[in-house]
Chain A
């Protein structure tokens, strides 16, 4: 208990210094956030450029999407003018960047609906799916990962590790198909897919439709996350500070929760950022298995139909989200671990 008393004394005698300290820490974080924002913007510009180049490298003219079999030369020319594919690439690129900066993602060639509004509608499916799936993954991964590390000498610790390896080896869509087969087709407990006509207004129907896909994501993402939690916990278990805390009289759970989690969280948070991004991409895959009208099905359809504005819009917004998650994870890391502040690691 000795170490806690010492810390307490420091706390009382240095309130003024601490306020200053917090302020200077806040400036450090703010400065970091600004630098990190600049990096975010540069990454976004690079991503937009890559996106533009890749879409233009595809064979065929985007204007073809507007035409049917039987189009005349005049119609083809009109379509090219409408799409802008008759302009030089440099002109197209500048107007593309300008539109993106104004968040004007254009109008779909095929549905004639504004791309941004449609992405908004699709997010009502993909975002909850990603977040519920990710929450389930955390719910599996954190307690099980800690148990697997702390009890790695017991049979169930080892069993958790083995099962999580299996979870990583299985592709996400296959887990989805398996769950549909068991819970929808055989047991008839849950729907095999689909999203209600009136969306979240029929929230019970929408929520039951989310169960199997979210569980699929939770299981697969949880399995890979579990390994990181386990590894981070093992690192912490072998660390000097934990041994010191124990030597100073903390009980093992106390030492683990007071010092271990905060230290172990730093690597896990950076992984969480990456995993949340891949959960989002996993959601895009799983939507197809469950016929959910999310971003993923929008992207697949847009690719099939050569609907360039939609393809571009979905890819850009997805890239933006992934970059933002990385951004948030980096800031969170600095908030958790003062040692990292002042260092920029994009």
Chain B
């Protein structure tokens, strides 16, 4: 456990001890919380390719879902008061919370819920959750407060997937530059390239926020963002992208540095369809030839976490698998020889041209040279990556960061870009979705997780840290930022 982890625990304890209602005068209830971020939303509609910035600014703050994914990683009801699942698992009946109004003043009804789900599953929707909601075959609204969803197949993740669906007023129309949600804040003003301001919504159905307003200030340059925090132009930086700048905050009592759990994984993805990567021994050899601890340290210093598979600790099916293929160049050489490559081989590593991939590629190049494997680094743009690798599967190996929560399901799709195809895993992942309980789902996915690790399906290099830095007088912010969310309603600022 590193010092930052202790700090995190301390911060959590502090927020419990001095949380809302403990000492009313501890903080300024009318304060504006200024949040500095590098992720400006591109528009205000999460089904229109607005990017992760819109989740950060709007999820839980401006819009709410039927359910929410909490910062700790659990799924809890928000706009749903109660729900029932039929015996066969194909019919969900939701009862909506009473007394909820949209910012426009209209009450929440079942028609709004139907409209909101259909917005996500619509033909032109670009929501990342569109596919996971594709089992929905019908949405009925027998009365104002009841929504009945029917499915074509069991879907244990339905509440989780619904946590990504904003409930929008069905009369809202185009929401790429306006909003009409039910959350504790309303949109005050948005200036593209600069800032987005939220103010407290006085008719909010739930507990009122512990601050009066939130201002998201957007930066394109991490140094400029850090300068803003140093000069007290912002109160919080949502996600620090490089450890270099942390030194100026870490030892300074005016600031608090917290490290939470991220879901962003850096990986060396092989094309498992092509030789030599269709050979599990070759994949295991490369995993064992990678000194991941040294790699992580050279990129993130003392931050970040080593992972033995694709699953981060915040997913319920996490188990520590770092021991499956530990760093061991000697056994890597033996495995290569057994696989029929005693003198090594040569491959091309398609490397996206932005950080940290080029540095990681160079590191791997020198690591693998030690076991006789020659890496040819081919730098490509993000657009090329998408065409060449994601669409055409025309590659040998590539580097990529995967940001999503609960995305082990990608290994259950043999058509995915990395082409991992183990029928057992495909079956487990399909079965997990049809599970009748969360325990059963967790059990199946834990098993799938173990198998992909044994198969060394990809080379999971490390998990990014999620680092938040704030002024010392600001507390109560989320530390994990799962799904890029940044709930602002519990943030307190003292004078």
Contacts and interface: CB of A to CB of B under 8 A. Distances in A.
A290 B225 CA distance: 9
A122 B194 CA distance: 10
B230 interface: yes
B224 interface: yes
Given A112-B48, A194-B194, A293-B191, A70 B220 contact: no
Interface stretch (B322-330, B376-384, B462-470): B376-384
Given A59-B383, A60-B383, A194-B217, A111 B192 contact: yes
B194 A192 contact: no
Interface stretch (A135-143, A183-191, A230-238, A259-267): A183-191
Given A64-B387, A185-B231, 9 more contacts: A59-B387, A60-B386, A60-B387, A67-B126, A112-B43, A193-B227, A198-B191, A301-B193, A304-B382
B131 A192 contact: no
A69 B390 contact: yes
Contacts of A111: 42-43, 176, 192
A167 interface: no
Interface residues of A, number: 49
B221 A298 contact: no
B49 A68 contact: yes
18 contacts: A59-B384, A60-B384, A65-B383, A70-B131, A110-B42, A111-B43, A112-B176, A185-B231, A192-B224, A193-B224, A193-B227, A193-B228, A194-B217, A194-B228, A195-B191, A195-B194, A291-B225, A298-B193
B394 interface: no
B197 interface: yes
A68 B126 contact: yes
Contact of A66 (B43, B126, B223, B224): B126
B92 interface: no
A291 B231 contact: no
B366 interface: no
Report whether over half of chain A's contact residues are helix, strand or loop; otherwise say mixed: loop
Contact of B231 (A110, A192, A305): A192
B220 A291 contact: yes
Interface in A266-307: 288-291, 293-294, 297-298, 300-301, 304-306
A235 to B, nearest CB: 42
Contact of A58 (B43, B230, B383): B383
Contact of B220 (A67, A76, A177, A297): A297
Nearest to B224: A291
Given A184-B227, A193-B224, A290-B224, A122 B386 contact: no
Contacts of B130: 70
A78 B390 CA distance: 17
Contact of B192 (A118, A193, A194): A118
B121 to A, nearest CB: 13
Contacts of A177: 223
A157 interface: no
A199 interface: yes
Contacts of A110: 42-43, 49, 51
Given A110-B49, A192-B228, A300-B220, A197 B191 contact: yes
A191 B231 contact: yes
A305 B193 contact: no
A165 interface: no
A185 B220 contact: no
Contacts of A294: 193
Nearest to B413: A70
A180 B230 CA distance: 11
Q: Which of A108, A297, A305 has the most CB of B within 10 A?
A: A297
Interface in B223-253: 223-225, 227-228, 230-231, 233
Given A64-B387, A198-B191, A305-B42, A192 B233 contact: yes
B386 A64 contact: yes
B296 interface: no
Nearest to B177: A113
Given A191-B233, A192-B228, A297-B220, A64 B383 contact: yes
B219 interface: yes
A140 B43 CA distance: 42
Interface string B122-155: 0010101011000000000000000000000000
Interface in A47-84: 58-61, 64-70, 76, 78
A204 interface: no
A207 to B, nearest CB: 15
Counting from the closest, the 10 A-B pairs by CB-CB distance are: A293-B193, A60-B383, A192-B227, A293-B194, A110-B42, A291-B224, A197-B195, A64-B386, A291-B219, A111-B42
Contacts of A122: 193
A322 to B, nearest CB: 22
Contacts of A109: 49
Interface of B: 40, 42-43, 48-49, 51, 124, 126, 128, 130-131, 176-177, 189, 191-195, 197, 215, 217-221, 223-225, 227-228, 230-231, 233, 380-384, 386-387, 390-391
Interface of A: 58-61, 64-70, 76, 78, 108-113, 118, 121-122, 177, 180, 184-185, 188, 191-199, 288-291, 293-294, 297-298, 300-301, 304-306
A208 B390 CA distance: 46
Given A64-B386, A191-B233, A288 B220 contact: yes
A180 B227 contact: yes
A105 to B, nearest CB: 16
B472 to A, nearest CB: 18
A306 B126 contact: no
Contacts of B194: 194-197, 293
B379 to A, nearest CB: 12
Contact of B230 (A60, A185, A298, A304): A185
A219 B219 CA distance: 24
Contacts of A297: 193, 220
Nearest to B228: A192
Contacts of B197: 197
Contacts of B386: 60, 64, 67
Contacts of A180: 227
A294 B224 CA distance: 15
A191 B189 CA distance: 22
Nearest to A177: B223
Nearest to B219: A291
Given A61-B387, A66-B49, A112-B48, A289 B221 contact: yes
A288 B221 contact: yes
A58 B471 CA distance: 43
Contact of B227 (A121, A185, A301): A185
Contacts of A288: 220-221, 224
Given A113-B177, A198-B189, A188 B224 contact: no
B401 to A, nearest CB: 12
Nearest to B195: A197
A214 to B, nearest CB: 16
Contacts of A70: 128, 130-131
Contacts of B51: 110
Nearest to B215: A197
Contacts of A192: 224, 227-228, 230-231, 233
A304 to B, nearest CB: 8
